[in-house]
Chains A and B, each alone.
Chain A
């Protein structure tokens, strides 16, 4: 596929899958509240239109440069994460260090979400930003080790080589802990589900507190886009990319991405919010040793199967 077409196609896929996640989320909410699933219930467009025309609120002395940079940053980070995911046969950015690039993009989120919290010049928003950093410190090391496991199994940091190395046995079979921790970290860096404390309702929306209009739309869309990018990255890393019988590769990849995405959407409202200080203990005392053991097991498998 022509490289020129690939970037707009990838953005289109990102937008489409984000829309799927929004609609699925609204459907689950409606079912949980006992309401019927009508188009008015499921369609996000009235809310989007409302946010687009809403007048922008501001506080007394916000740091507008930092605030808007942070707000726009979530979507930019999601798009850059998607740049290393193979779409069909080709990749937008065939980096030899694709896995580390994904890690770099999710670290940029540390800066962007904190800037959103700081720029608003509001106490609750700042507390939300600090909560995000506390959570991020807890999940970052497990995420790095969970990303190391498929790289060790494939002896490469290039995402396409990780897909090629999976062959007939997907990585999720060999390294389930890494897969579970990866999905957990995708939820965590997207302020999703049990990790929504930085945008929590006890903080009047946390980092979302003082945002309105287009900025709010960018942040809410950014969260969904990040989950989509994370789910899309999980597929080549753990679920074999486009491998599967009968259907063409891109269909399988899309189906697998949808499956992971819907799993994350279902989990979103099911689990209670985790307090960042409790999660810090879980992250360091439980997840770091677990992921290290996972990398050890993967390394032993690689050594056992070495020719």
Chain B
């Protein structure tokens, strides 16, 4: 009984942190604070996953999202015009319509969540939850992981192609024969 109360209190706290900091992302002026408000929201979601017995996934969410937020911070500072929030400025367009669409979506989704007759629980969580997901992705759901692997590889290639300013002709000359390559940073392993 006591443990139930503690779980509920912790869950309510984490939910408030996740939703509250999620909303704060779009309210603060400073871009760095927005990024790390999002990071706190993700850590709270990781905590909610820990409450659901999903130990490994909760910690993986924290790992991946904090890394992503740190990299996102670099890009925010590079591309945004008001990174430190020193000038208050409003970077919105169409705020009333966006707000009404968002509130409408919430009403529909939350109403569905509360009114739909969800199915009964089938079975119980296994003793080793991590083993279940490990065996799942290596066994019955291996196709999913192979697909993700292929997608990530193509993401790496396309991101580099889009973001690189210099092609191999810039590096190796018009006939691709210049060795060593003309790079701003010397040294390296290959051409």
Contact = CB atoms under 8 A, between A and B. Distances in A.
A and B touch in the complex (CB under 8 A): yes
Interface of A: 61, 63, 65-66, 95-97, 100-101, 103-104, 107-108, 110-111, 114-115, 118, 121, 126, 130, 133, 136-137, 140, 157, 277-278, 281, 285-286
A133 B71 contact: yes
Interface in B54-81: 55-56, 59-60, 62-63, 66-67, 69-71, 73-74, 77
Interface of B: 30, 32-33, 36, 39, 55-56, 59-60, 62-63, 66-67, 69-71, 73-74, 77, 84, 86, 128, 130, 185, 187-190
Top 8 A-B residue pairs of the complex, sorted by shortest distance between their CB atoms: A110-B70, A100-B59, A104-B63, A97-B55, A107-B63, A104-B59, A104-B62, A107-B66
Contact of B59 (A101, A115, A140): A101
Nearest to B71: A133
Given A96-B128, A118-B73, A136-B70, 13 more contacts: A61-B86, A63-B32, A100-B56, A104-B59, A104-B66, A107-B66, A107-B67, A110-B70, A111-B66, A121-B84, A278-B187, A285-B190, A286-B189
A278 B189 CA distance: 10
A61 B84 contact: yes
Contacts of A95: 55
B188 A281 contact: yes
Contacts of A121: 84
A98 B190 CA distance: 38
Given A66-B32, A121-B84, A111 B59 contact: no
B55 A111 contact: no
A114 B59 contact: no
A189 to B, nearest CB: 13
22 contacts: A63-B84, A66-B33, A96-B128, A96-B130, A97-B130, A100-B56, A100-B63, A101-B59, A103-B63, A104-B63, A104-B66, A107-B67, A111-B69, A111-B70, A114-B73, A118-B32, A133-B74, A157-B130, A281-B187, A281-B188, A285-B189, A286-B189
Contact of B189 (A103, A137, A157, A281): A281
B38 to A, nearest CB: 11
A277 B55 CA distance: 35
A241 B87 CA distance: 54
B130 A133 contact: no
A132 to B, nearest CB: 9
A110 B66 contact: yes
Nearest to B30: A63
Nearest to B86: A61
B10 to A, nearest CB: 16
A97 B77 CA distance: 34
Given A100-B59, A133-B71, A111 B33 contact: no
B86 to A, nearest CB: 6
B93 to A, nearest CB: 27
A121 B86 CA distance: 11
Contact of B56 (A66, A97, A126, A136): A97
Contacts of B71: 133, 137
Given A66-B36, A97-B59, A281-B188, A114 B30 contact: no
Contacts of A140: 67
